[in-house]
Amino acid sequence: MFCKSKIVHIFAVQTKGGDDTMLIIPIKEGENIDRALKRFKRKFDRTGTMRQLRSRQQFTKPSVARRAQIQKAQYIQHLRDQEEI
């Protein structure tokens, strides 16, 4: 016989700050597993874990990182300026 209680999956993920947190993905009764997996992937992307791992694979000088950050800010500002016109 099937249990009537909710099924909740919990995954341990390390966040940007370095502390371990849990991603809790409640699966509703009768919900498609693909939809729950999509919610998990979205939550996992928002933690930034993979971006952090990839950035740590090689050392980036602080001056290069700062320059990239400034260029990104300029690009975003340019897009916002174009949107106003």
Residue owning tokens 């990839």: 54
Res. 79: pLDDT tops 90: yes
Q: Is there a contact between 20 and 14 (Cβ–Cβ < 8 Å)?
A: yes
Structure tokens at 76: 């975003």
Task: Give strand pairing partners of 30.
Answer: none
Q: State the pLDDT confidence band at 7, using cuts at 50, 70 and 90.
A: low
pLDDT tens-place string over residues 38-78:
999 999 999 888 999 999 999 999 999 999 999 999 999 99
